[in-house]
Copies of this chain bind each other. A is one copy, B any other.
Amino acid sequence: MSVTPSLVADLVGVAVFAASGASAGVVKRLDLFGVVFVGAVAALGGGIIRDLLIGAVPPYAFTHWEYLVVAVLAALLLFWLHPQFNRLRRTVLVLDAAGLGLFTVTGTLKALDAHVPAVGACVIGMISGIGGGLGRDLLTGEIPVVLRREIYAVASLLGAGVVTALARVHLNRPLLITGTALLIFVVRLLALRRN
């Protein structure tokens, strides 16, 4: 497996979403395995749904063990290193925003590469971004975050639209990924700060 910009962005997204899921598990006072499990679902769930939707089976997360290892390590790190419960809630939200940006962008690009039309690719990008968090929330019995905060999936959709438009211009890929992921991240953080 060659190290592409898309792979690096994907693995960073896996790590931050795993930490986000693990934080949610810690907040719910789950034991070690529960924390790692929710972390792995949050980290890999969106990408697995994406791969099922574009017919890329077995999904990437099952054919490349690096994904699972990164997810488990990030969840374990969070479990052992987390300082206090109070500060965690904010950490979850920031990590979640970063994962949202990265997964939306790589998901949209994978859908476009699989020849999904523009509108569908944007939605698949959004699902890649919000799918893991949705699984995390369903598992921990929370009302899904996407239903409660208007500028969550909307930030993801906006970014997916920008990716789809710019992908046609054949922009430099690392630049495209970094820029649009950052855009989603910032929009999401601004929405968080406003509340």
Contact = CB atoms under 8 A, between A and B. Distances in A.
Interface stretch (A57-65, A75-83, A163-171): A57-65
- The main secondary structure of chain A at its interface with chain B is helix
A114 interface: yes
A11 to B, nearest CB: 15
Contacts of A59: 53
Nearest to A134: B139
A30 interface: yes
A179 interface: no
Given A62-B123, A123-B68, A138-B138, A34 B117 contact: no
Interface residues of A, number: 43
Nearest to A35: B147
A150 B32 contact: yes
Contacts of A121: 62
A119 interface: yes
A174 interface: no
Given A54-B58, A68-B119, A114-B58, A144 B139 contact: yes
Interface of A: 25, 30-34, 37-38, 48, 52-55, 57-59, 61-63, 65, 68, 111, 114, 116-121, 123-124, 138-141, 143-144, 146-148, 150, 153-154
List the 9 shortest-distance A-B pairs measured between CB atoms, nearest first.
A62-B120, A55-B57, A65-B119, A34-B147, A33-B150, A58-B116, A31-B150, A54-B58, A63-B120
